[in-house]
Structure 1
Amino acid sequence: MTSDVTAEFDRQVANLVDRGYPALAGLDEEGFRALVGPLRSAARSGAPDPDAGRVPFLLVVTRKVVPIEETMPRTTLHRGRLPGFVDHSFEPGSLERFAATVDLPAPDAYLLFDVERGEEFCGVVPNDAMETIAGRERTPLTIEEGIALVTHFPEVLVKNKCFSVGGSRCGDRRVPAIWISKRAPKLGWCWQGNPHTWLGVASAGARGA
């Protein structure tokens, strides 16, 4: 592993520590670092290009460790101050029903590799976009993975280049998505058959623990 990869992994860990993840997980800083530290050896090299919406790996902490209702408010836009939020269109308790439809390598924390924001799918019906992604042997992001992308690389979330996270579904026609509202990141949803010119579909190459 190169020093650049190690430095990027450590930056992402420190980012979560700075945003209060240890306390939210019911751990002290040492305990939190012990939870995610073993993943360092699995990190992959590559130069992040958040402006282009591509990063080589993300450290993802699941809702089992910190609830979505707590992680989303710890996102901001690049150079922004307003906290992200969960849209009121999620009825009480519905976030728990938006479960991962993909296989996760670990229940608590893992790495997501070869991540793309997916703006090529802006204006494409989400169902059609996810079919294309599957045909490329890639995977749509879960809600937690989308939050991790904005948390570690807020530059990725920009006007007209927001993204759906179709790896979390609840069995109906809703597809979760993260976009900009009121000058802050917002977790909402759109219909699986409705295209939006400003909303693509994020995807990744693999997951690992």
Structure 2
Amino acid sequence: MPAVTAVPALPALSTQAERLIELGVHEIAGLPAAELRAFADAAGDPAGDEDGGVLLAVHPDRAPASALAPLLRRDGKPGFVVTDMPDVDEFAPLESVAVPDSPLHLITGVDRGDRMANWSPDEALPALTAEARTPLLLTEGIHWVLQQPAALERNRCFMTIGSRLRKPDGTLDSRTPALWISNGTGRDGRERRKAPKVGWCWAGNRHTWLGFASATGRRPGTL
């Protein structure tokens, strides 16, 4: 396994807002570009607020994973959702994950969770909770890579276990979402080799190349 490399800090919130506007995320979310810019301006400069900076994210109800994933790019190839995850947008925040009830929010202290590589999601969630950290949602993980592509690194990818699918009987589906880099095998297709990929792993399984992305908290910001 290659040595762990630090993920570069996030850009300023104003720069993040412009990036989302450039990608058309504001249109997906049904938000005027001016509102996104005003939100970032009102939040101010987060430098020094948290290690790695502060991430600007759109609520998953406004910008679902299926719409965000194709905006990812790596080696000129767009991101995609695995074919056996047609219900990706039905993965919702866990009851223990508090997401601000607003179109936009801020995420502090984002970490890729490399130290938890080779842990299972069932093992990682209680450990993060004990550390007063909150697991990222799938859409938040996509936002992070949109703003900082270096967060997704070969053999250093991550799970986003804040999002889970609840079955009709109330129990959780055993799939847990993750972001990694396709090898272009199987149903992915050779043309998708090295492309960013939204997929899933079983909640009880371990993978040496997947950490667990988390944050210190979320806040709604102001306008």
Query: Could you say whether these structures have the same fold, taking a TM-score greater than 0.5 normalized by the shorter chain as the test?
Result: yes
Corresponding residue number in structure 1 for 2:203: 192
Which of 53, 57, 61 is residue 58 of structure 2 equivalent to?
61
Alpha-carbon deviations, 1:121-149, whole Å to 9, x = none?
Answer: 11112211121111100000001110011
Question: Deviation of residue 89 (structure 1)?
Answer: 1.5
Question: Which amino acid letter does the alignment assign opposite residue 58 of structure 2?
Answer: V
Question: Deviation of residue 39 (structure 1)?
Answer: 4.5
Aligned residues of 2:118 and 2:208 also touching (Cα < 8 A): yes
94-103 vs 157-166, which deviates more? 94-103
Aligned residues of 1:118 and 1:201 also touching (Cα < 8 A): yes
Corresponding residue number in structure 2 for 1:142: 137
Alpha-carbon deviations, 1:5-37, whole Å to 9, x = none?
Answer: xx711110111111122333345xxx2331462
Corresponding residue number in structure 2 for 1:203: 214
Trace 1:10-159 onto structure 2 (pairs within 5 A): 10-27=14-31, 31-35=32-36, 37-42=38-43, 44-46=46-48, 55-77=52-74, 80-91=75-86, 94-101=87-94, 102-159=97-154
Question: Deviation of residue 110 (structure 1)?
Answer: 0.5
Aligned residues of 2:69 and 2:81 also touching (Cα < 8 A): yes
Q: What secondary structure is seen at the aligned counterpart in 2 of 1:112?
A: strand
Aligned residues of 1:163 and 1:179 also touching (Cα < 8 A): yes
Question: Deviation of residue 47 (structure 1)?
Answer: 8.8
Q: Which has the higher helix share?
A: 1
Question: Which amino acid letter does the alignment assign opposite residue 63 of structure 1?
Answer: P
Report how many aligned residue pairs link the two structures.
192
Point out where structure 1 has 5 or more consecutive residues left out of the alignment: 1-6, 49-53
Aligned residues of 2:65 and 2:89 also touching (Cα < 8 A): no
Q: What secondary structure is seen at the aligned counterpart in 1 of 2:108?
A: strand
Aligned residues of 1:133 and 1:140 also touching (Cα < 8 A): yes
Aligned residues of 1:138 and 1:204 also touching (Cα < 8 A): yes
TM (norm. structure 1) is: 0.84
Question: Which amino acid letter does the alignment assign opposite residue 72 of structure 1?
Answer: A
Question: Deviation of residue 159 (structure 1)?
Answer: 0.8
Question: Which amino acid letter does the alignment assign opposite residue 61 of structure 2?
Answer: K
Cα distance in 1, alignment partners of residues 21 and 103 from structure 2: 16
Cα distance in 1, alignment partners of residues 48 and 196 from structure 2: 26
Q: Indicate the percent of aligned positions where both proteins have the same amino acid.
A: 36
Alpha-carbon deviations, 1:27-82, whole Å to 9, x = none?
Answer: 5xxx233146235433532399xxxxx622111012322232111110113xx210
Question: Which amino acid letter does the alignment assign opposite residue 78 of structure 2?
Answer: P
Question: Which amino acid letter does the alignment assign opposite residue 181 of structure 2?
Answer: I
Corresponding residue number in structure 1 for 2:174: 173
Q: What secondary structure is seen at the aligned counterpart in 2 of 1:107?
A: coil
